[in-house]
Chain A
Amino acid sequence: MTYRIDSLKAPLLVSWQLTRDCDLACLHCCTDSAPGKRMADEFDAGEAIRFAEQLAHSEIPYVMLCGGEPLIVPHFFRLAETLGRAGIQLKIETNGQTFDDAIAERLARLPVRSVQISLDGATQEVYARQRPGASLEKAHAACRAVRRAGLPLEVTFAPTRFNIHQLEAVIAQARAFGAFRFNTGRLMRIGTAARQWQRLTPSAAQYRTFIATLQHQANPDGVEPIDLRYLPFTIVETLRENLADPPATMLVLPNGWVKVAAVLPLVCADLRRHTLADAWDLYRRAWRDDTTTRLLWSAIEDEARHSEANSWYCALRRACA
């Protein structure tokens, strides 16, 4: 069998988790990020810049910078500007707590495809229940700063028992801010969310109402159009699609390890030891490996296995030897 990725000379998208450190400790976090949770072996500034330069020379069209909170990384702008100067389109995923006009204006000089801000509630009370200590007003101010600078805004919403009833109000807010896209889906059972699962996961009835609301909200007359993205709704559906057509996306962890898939604990390359080209080759081989297939089916058959996603290890022959 030949996959589409076999014929591509490089990834089409690199999702780069710059740090696990964050200024918030969200209950639903899928990356186990929180204040002080920087990994001991994260790339230092020099290593990160060298990797950004590799990306710049590898005809990668599109890079997502995420975390943790990417904006608290001291060399964030050096990375973004290295990538941007090469014409790479950038997506910045932020909680918006420190995002102001100065940041927006500096980003507006780069080829930014979008800034994605998490709005996990329509009221301060609900928002802060899921994001303890966070300010909804700061997140809203960040949305306004993005649009004032002429940058495309995306909003993301992670549904939990706490906020799922506010979906419609959050979509309305996203529309009012001029977001072009609204991303949501079933809560992922990964990281902090997995440990808080019984407390967070919405009921089946809540999800039915949630999906009905999304269907109803798909650009009714008289409101600002917005691209509502919620399909595939579950990570399991995504995994089934990936089995037939593995994504041309490289997931890079803060220490330079490359993950095979977000919900798998499997690492296939180490960018301290491998070039980007070698890592891409190892990634493509990983999708043919029996270990990957076994773990993928395990994750498809049992959602509880997703909670192991951040316990990374390398079980692939050749890759990490």
Chain B
Amino acid sequence: MKLAKYTKFREEKFGGVLFETRSEKVYTLNPTAAAVVREIGCDCSEREIVERLRDGFHDSGDAIALDVKAFLADLRQKGLVED
């Protein structure tokens, strides 16, 4: 998974912004969402991204995995990421 061709990510004090330059839409991200998008930058699979975030947040349950999968599905639906 990676950011779509026309999507740019920038970290900000409040988290980050995703800028889809084709539509010129800007999405504001909180720190947690920005942490997820930072992992997408590594060009890993969705499973690897989820695992890395679970490790990073020391979560042994499903809470983070469910949230991250839902967020990634939302990004995919908006055309902001591609596999």
- Given known A-B contacts A8-B17, A9-B13, A12-B17, A61 and B22 have beta carbons under 8 A apart: no
With A and B bound together, what is the CA distance between A61 and B10 in angstroms? Answer: 8
* Interfacial chain B residues near A59, Cβ < 8 Å: 10
- Taking a contact as CB atoms under 8 Å apart, the answer to whether A62 and B19 are in contact is yes
Is there a chain B Cβ closer than 8 Å to A7's Cβ?
A: yes
Total interface residues in chain A, CB < 8 Å: 19
Is there a chain B Cβ closer than 8 Å to A89's Cβ?
A: yes
With A and B bound together, what is the CA distance between A12 and B6 in angstroms? Answer: 14
- Taking a contact as CB atoms under 8 Å apart, the answer to whether B12 and A61 are in contact is no
* Interfacial chain B residues near A152, Cβ < 8 Å: 22
With A and B bound together, what is the CA distance between A227 and B22 in angstroms? Answer: 10
- Taking a contact as CB atoms under 8 Å apart, the answer to whether A61 and B8 are in contact is yes
Is there a chain A Cβ closer than 8 Å to B21's Cβ?
A: yes
With A and B bound together, what is the CA distance between A12 and B16 in angstroms? Answer: 12
- Taking a contact as CB atoms under 8 Å apart, the answer to whether A7 and B6 are in contact is no
Is there a chain B Cβ closer than 8 Å to A180's Cβ?
A: yes
Is there a chain B Cβ closer than 8 Å to A228's Cβ?
A: no
Nearest B residue to A89 by beta-carbon distance? B21
With A and B bound together, what is the CA distance between A114 and B21 in angstroms? Answer: 10
- Taking a contact as CB atoms under 8 Å apart, the answer to whether B19 and A8 are in contact is no
Is there a chain A Cβ closer than 8 Å to B26's Cβ?
A: yes
Q: Provide the A66-103 mask, 1 if CB < 8 A to any CB of B, else 0.
A: 00000000000000000000010100000000000000
Is there a chain A Cβ closer than 8 Å to B14's Cβ?
A: yes
- Taking a contact as CB atoms under 8 Å apart, the answer to whether A7 and B26 are in contact is no
- Taking a contact as CB atoms under 8 Å apart, the answer to whether A7 and B13 are in contact is yes
* Interfacial chain B residues near A8, Cβ < 8 Å: 12, 17
A-B contacts, 15 listed (Cβ < 8 Å): A7-B12, A7-B14, A9-B13, A10-B10, A12-B17, A12-B19, A61-B8, A61-B19, A62-B8, A87-B8, A89-B6, A89-B8, A89-B21, A113-B22, A248-B26
